[in-house]
Amino acid sequence: MEDDRPPTAAELEASAERRILRRNQKIAELRERSGLSMDELAKEMGYKGQSSIQRYLSPDYDKGFRPELAARFKAALIGKGSPPITPRDLHVFDSWTENPDGTTVDMLTDYYRHLESGGSASTYRETLEERGIYPASHIDRVLSFARKSKGLDADPEYDRVTGLPLREGDVVLKMPKRISAESAETIRGWVEHLLSIATAEK
């Protein structure tokens, strides 16, 4: 009979390589289930082609997913396939994430380590926010809002709606699916202008 006790952080850390392989296999299965080719998935995510996402879908990929990247994968895959891909299926993108400095975080091991040091689920959420890492529930909430295209007057045939969770608040953006190089430069300048206003000293 197997031991029913919860794993320790040390045991989870020792199984990291095996769990990453399972994560990658699950992501590959989701892509197959969606019916999207790698190129089609990349375009659904707002990229030019499969070269932009190829490394993340490699069976050997051993890093995490930034919240913004995880959000793109989720927005592109949700509801696709038979049976339709659900938010629960997409939690796989949250099991390994990135710190703002680019280092990979094994969320499960990180959580158990927090509990072993006397923390709780609620204080762990606070810890993540302080570190700039967002729980799956926060990202799912942003995506759920972003996918309500009717509320944003978006036509799914012509418009792309995406959400980006920031510490200060959620950013939801609607734009045409196809944008010219000139328009892309206009958007880049507009974003830079907004950032300069937001970070300016008062």
Q: Is 191 exposed, middle or buried (0-12, 13-18, 19+ CB in 10 A)?
A: exposed
In a domain, 114, yes or no: yes
CA of residue 82 relative to chain centroid, distance: 22
Q: Does the structure show a pLDDT above 70 at 11?
A: yes
124 assigned to some structural domain: yes
At residue 134, does pLDDT exceed 80? no
Asked, for residue 162, whether it belongs to a domain, the answer is: no
Is position 180 within any domain?
no
Name the domain count of the chain: 1
* Contact by Cβ (8 Å): 56, 65: yes
Residue 67 resides in a domain: yes
Q: What is the extent of the structural domain holding 37?
A: 9-149
Helix (H) or strand (E) holding 178: none
Cα–Cα dist 130/85, whole Å:
31
In angstroms, the CA 185 to CA 182 distance is 5
Inside any domain, residue 121: yes
- Residues 130-153 have a mean pLDDT of 65
Nearest residue to 135 (alpha-carbon basis) of 146, 117, 121: 121
Whether this prediction's pTM lies above 0.85 is answered by no
- Whether the pLDDT of residue 1 is over 50: the answer is no
Residue 192 lies inside a defined structural domain of this protein: no
Residue 24 forms part of a structural domain: yes
In the structure, what pLDDT confidence band is assigned to residue 63 with cuts at 50, 70 and 90? very high
pLDDT beyond 50 at 195: yes
